[in-house]
């Protein structure tokens, strides 16, 4: 091998490594940002003397604002490119984090939350559209691993923020520090000129787009059900253990921790499961397993069995969203942005509906009875998965 060829090979190896790191980076930094956000929200609300009621209104306003932003974001991604969408939305989130460190009044907080959640929704659309396009370009089923990068980033962000806060570092320092990390990642992504930034080959934007496509809507419905059950578990599992079963604080809090750890583990192993069962088989199995886990958790008051049930639900749900996004990418290969927009918008709708649905049912019956709707949700995921009109190709169970 000549010296020139050696230099070229070395350059290609470094370039390939650089691109490989850039693919999961937008997911990991998004998770890190939200992990920090969840930990510091209490500090921010305490500093502004905002009680739970007004804070809930402000948060809901932000989430509602994200829904139309995601619809527009999907069309933007297909027309002008995913990289511009991701970097632009990431920049807005970084600016909002700086704003959170400076805000001094409730009205300002509401404005920041609207901007932050709208940008985060658009960013979510963009990174999932990029992941779909990456699968189409490489033939590798990487979306579960990318969602695992988000979960790992969220866990890391929460741990880091908690440790810094415990050490006496104020949120006014942590927020802008995270903003620098996000902005740096966005600058690297923009400079890469490829990967998530690839410009779509075509951008058909028919009236109503993919919101009128029956098969895409079925896949989006599966995503919505998965997010609904996920939001149900995040919000109510601890309340069920601590309030309804009157378990000690540490044991009660372990329900949420077990669920999130199971989600991370499940996403790391989903690609291997898809390799063996295919995406349809994985979705059907995930729905049945989630229903089984909820049944086990609610059929007993014995804490180890309850936690085992929650663990099973987390492992099952870990596969639902990644596999659904992967399927949608194949169903609309030239409109990844719009496909991501449909799934993300309806998925966020599930997050919004889940906690309030359980709360309302619990008022009418009991929390245990209300949580039984999670069993129905898992079974619905299985039923809808069987109705998705898409035939997996020969390469479906190939190397993930």
3-state secondary structure of 103: coil
Dihedral over Cα of 99, 105, 111, 117: its sign = positive
Q: Domain 20-197's class?
A: mainly alpha
The domain locations on the chain are: 20-197, 209-397
**What pTM was computed for the model?**
0.72
* Spatial distance between the Cα atoms of 358 and 75, rounded to a whole number of angstroms: 33
* Spatial distance between the Cα atoms of 41 and 352, rounded to a whole number of angstroms: 19
Question: What pLDDT does residue 350 have?
Answer: 81
Are 133 and 74 in contact by the 8 Å Cβ rule? The answer is no
Domain 209-397 adopts which CATH fold?
A: Growth Hormone; Chain: A; (1.20.1250)
Q: What is the pLDDT of residues 376-387, one digit of tens each?
A: 999 999 999 988
Determine what percent of the chain is predicted with pLDDT higher than 90.
28
Question: What pLDDT does residue 198 have?
Answer: 46
Residues in the chain, pLDDT under 70: 1-22, 52, 77-78, 193-211, 235, 238-239, 242-243, 248-257, 355-356, 390-400
CA atoms within 13 A of residue 93's CA, in its CB half-sphere: 31
CATH topology identical between 20-197 and 209-397: yes
CB-based contacts of 5, cutoff 8 Å, min separation 6: none
* Residue that has been written with the tokens 């397993």 in this structure: 289
The H or E element spanning position 144 is helix 143-166
Q: What is the pLDDT of residues 339-377, one digit of tens each?
A: 778 888 887 778 777 766 777 788 888 888 989 999 999
Are 81 and 355 in contact by the 8 Å Cβ rule? The answer is no
Are 336 and 329 in contact by the 8 Å Cβ rule? The answer is yes
């Amino acid at each position: 091998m000549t010296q020139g060829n050696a230099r070229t090979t070395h350059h290609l190896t470094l370039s390939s490594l650089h691109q490989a790191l850039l693919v999961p980076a937008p997911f990991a930094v998004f998770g890190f940002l939200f992990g920090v956000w969840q930990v510091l929200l209490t500090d921010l609300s305490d500093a502004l003397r905002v009680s739970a009621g007004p804070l809930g209104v402000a948060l809901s306003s932000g989430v509602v604002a994200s829904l139309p932003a995601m619809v527009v974001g999907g069309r933007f991604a297909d027309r002008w490119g995913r990289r511009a969408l991701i970097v632009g939305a990431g920049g807005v989130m970084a600016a909002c984090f700086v704003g959170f460190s400076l805000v001094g009044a409730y009205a300002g907080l509401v404005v920041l939350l609207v901007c932050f959640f709208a940008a985060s929704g658009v960013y979510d659309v963009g990174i999932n559209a990029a992941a779909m396009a990456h699968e189409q370009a490489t033939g590798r089923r990487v979306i579960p691993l990318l969602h695992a990068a988000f979960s790992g980033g969220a866990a890391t962000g929460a741990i880091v923020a908690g440790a810094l806060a415990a050490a006496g570092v104020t949120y006014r320092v942590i927020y802008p520090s995270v903003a620098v990390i996000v902005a740096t990642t966005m600058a690297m992504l923009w400079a890469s000129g490829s990967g998530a930034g690839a410009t779509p080959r075509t951008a058909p934007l028919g009236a109503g787009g993919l919101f009128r496509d029956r098969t895409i809507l079925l896949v989006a419905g599966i995503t919505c059900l998965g997010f609904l059950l996920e939001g149900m578990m995040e919000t109510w599992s601890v309340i069920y253990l601590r309030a309804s079963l009157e378990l000690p604080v540490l044991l009660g809090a372990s329900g949420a921790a077990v669920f999130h750890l199971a989600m991370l583990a499940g996403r790391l192993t989903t690609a291997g499961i898809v390799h063996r069962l295919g995406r349809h088989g994985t979705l059907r199995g995930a729905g049945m397993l989630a229903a089984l886990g909820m049944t086990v958790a609610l059929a007993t008051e014995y804490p180890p069995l309850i936690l085992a049930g929650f663990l099973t639900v987390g492992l099952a749900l870990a596969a639902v969203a990644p596999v659904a996004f992967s399927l949608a990418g194949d169903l609309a290969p030239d409109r990844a942005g719009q496909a991501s927009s449909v799934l993300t918008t309806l998925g966020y709708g599930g997050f919004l509906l889940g906690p309030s649905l359980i709360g309302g049912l619990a008022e009418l019956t009991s929390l245990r009875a209300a949580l039984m709707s999670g069993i129905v949700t898992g079974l619905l995921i299985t039923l809808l998965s069987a109705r998705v009109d898409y035939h997996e190709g020969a390469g479906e169970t190939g190397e993930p």
